[in-house]
A and B are shown apart, each in its own frame.
Chain A
């Protein structure tokens, strides 16, 4: 259907409004965020697998172990990189992401996921703790997609739902199959690492 007469000022205003939208850049920033956190998850899993014997996955972690300390560097780097990424994007479109707000947001993300993961421990035990973490991250992402605290695009919210479902189903399937040790870490690596990288790359090149 054709619209009625359009005055030149109205036409120009409409063009300026749409030309100022940066949805593509926003979608790519979201994609890069997924890729970053995919690598964080992969880094955590690979470090555990490389530095710790399988028995280490079957009990409570030794918090003073170099591997545990090294693992902590990944989320820390992930937070700083993500905040930096969104602050850079703020030069082109309003992200509302100051350094302080970003730090608070992503630290809250880690705290929520950690609390949820620990909450699952009484039910799954340390030997399946990583699968409990998968379920926790899945729940978090479903909540993230529903509440959309960072104002993601429709595609970005769709990605959050898809990744949340993958993590949730992956973790639940591993728990149902009784996976422990290396097998559980590898499953979690796939659902929390490679899936995020794949979805992020898709958004990055498809945005």
Chain B
């Protein structure tokens, strides 16, 4: 079962889905913390964040505190898309009867 019908293709990808889940839980995160939590390379993370940002799901800001760092947070649109994605995943699991 692939079950990807009606699933947001932007979120139905392991790294991007996890980025969204992490930001949904933690409200915001700096780049290095995301990289460590997801255990991905900086280039890989940067690429996925750029896709999420251009879709309007994630917003970034440069923060100066001892040094410049980029912080990422979900936009209201991103949070809504994530909630819808999770709800759709649950519905698909329920429909298929797979635990």
Contacts and interface: CB of A to CB of B under 8 A. Distances in A.
Interface of A: 2-3, 5-9, 11-12, 14-24, 27, 153-155, 198, 202, 205-207
Question: 6 nearest interchain CB pairs?
Answer: A15-B21, A5-B2, A18-B18, A8-B92, A8-B3, A19-B25
B80 to A, nearest CB: 16
A70 B32 CA distance: 41
Nearest to A16: B21
A24 B26 contact: yes
Contact of B93 (A2, A9, A18, A153): A9
Given A15-B20, A18-B18, 8 more contacts: A3-B15, A7-B1, A7-B98, A14-B17, A15-B86, A18-B38, A202-B65, A206-B30
A18 B90 contact: no
A7 B3 contact: yes
5 contacts: A6-B2, A8-B92, A18-B22, A21-B22, A23-B29
B3 A202 contact: no
State which size class the interface on B falls in.
35 or more
Contact of B14 (A3, A155, A207): A3
Contacts of A9: 93, 98-99
Nearest to B36: A154
A153 B13 contact: no
Contacts of B1: 7-8
Contacts of B33: 23-24, 27, 153, 155, 207
Interface of B: 1-4, 7, 12-15, 17-18, 20-22, 24-26, 29-30, 32-33, 36-38, 63, 65-66, 69, 86, 89-90, 92-93, 96, 98-99
A175 to B, nearest CB: 28
Chain B contact residues, majority secondary structure: helix
A47 to B, nearest CB: 29
B19 to A, nearest CB: 8
Contacts of A5: 2, 4
Nearest to A1: B44
Contact of A2 (B3, B13, B92, B96): B13
Contacts of A19: 21-22, 24-25
Contact of A18 (B3, B4, B37, B66): B37
Nearest to B98: A9
B93 A21 contact: no
A26 to B, nearest CB: 10
Contacts of A8: 1, 3, 7, 89, 92-93, 96, 98
Contacts of B12: 6, 11
